[in-house]
Structure formats: C-alpha cells, structure tokens
Amino acid sequence: MEAAVTEYQKLQASFQTAVEARQQLDSQLRENEQVAKEFSKLTQNNEVYKLIGPVLVKQDQVEAKTNVDKRIEFIKGEIERVEAQIKDLNEKTEKKKIEIVALQTKAQQDASAAGAASATAISA
C-alpha cells in the first residue's frame, strides 16, 4: 500500500508541474498575441527593433511578424501537448486513488476478520 501511495504522490507532483507549465504557456501565448496585434497596427514605414541583451537591433518588419506568428503556432502546439499530458496524468491519478481505496478497504476487512477470529478463539 505504501508503494501505491508513493506512486500517487509522484503522479500528483507531475500533474502539478504540468498545470504550471500550461499556465506559463498561456501567459506566453497572450504576450505573443499582443505583440501580433501591435504588429497589425504598423505601417510599412514603421521600424521594428528587437532587444538582444542590452542592445536594440533593427529588424525587418516582415521577419519580425513571421517570427511572432511561428512562436504563436509553436506555443499552441505545446499547449495541446501539455493538455494531453494533464489529461493522462489525471486519469492515472484517479486510477491510483481507486487502487488505494481498494487496498484500504481490504486492509480494514482483513483487520475486522482477524479481530473476529481472535474474539472467537477467546470465547472458545
């Protein structure tokens, strides 16, 4: 039973990590979608700069838009992957929970049976 409980705790920790990753991806997606929205307001005469370390470097507007679009696409793919992982971990956690409850029930039944057997032996 201890092994089942340990496995359950590991599954819960993995589930929590996946949920945190999902939240971080959501944040990145919103940020990149905001950047894409700002790009849509630019004219061809506007200049775009990218922050690389402490330096702003001029970047081609089309290239910048393409990079942001690709990043959004990648993040959406990662979100799908993490959501599938969360679903799988949730299912495994539920199965392990059911297994633990079954083990606890069996242990209680065994303890009751042992108690009844010893009570019968004492009265005989």
Q: Where are the domains of the chain?
A: 1-113
**48 neighbors 64 (Cβ within 8 angstroms):** yes
Secondary structure (3-state) at 56: strand
Region at 68 (left for phi over 0; alpha for psi -120 to 50; beta for the rest) = alpha
**pLDDT score recorded for residue 1:** 81
Question: pLDDT digit of tens for each residue in the chain (124 aa)?
Answer: 888 899 999 999 999 999 999 999 999 999 999 999 999 999 999 999 999 999 999 999 999 999 999 999 999 999 999 999 999 999 999 999 999 999 999 988 888 887 766 656 565 5
Residue from 71, 76, 92 nearest 9 by CA: 92
Please state the φ and ψ torsions of residue 49, each to the nearest 5 degrees. -125, 150
- CATH match of 1-113 with 1.10.287.370: yes
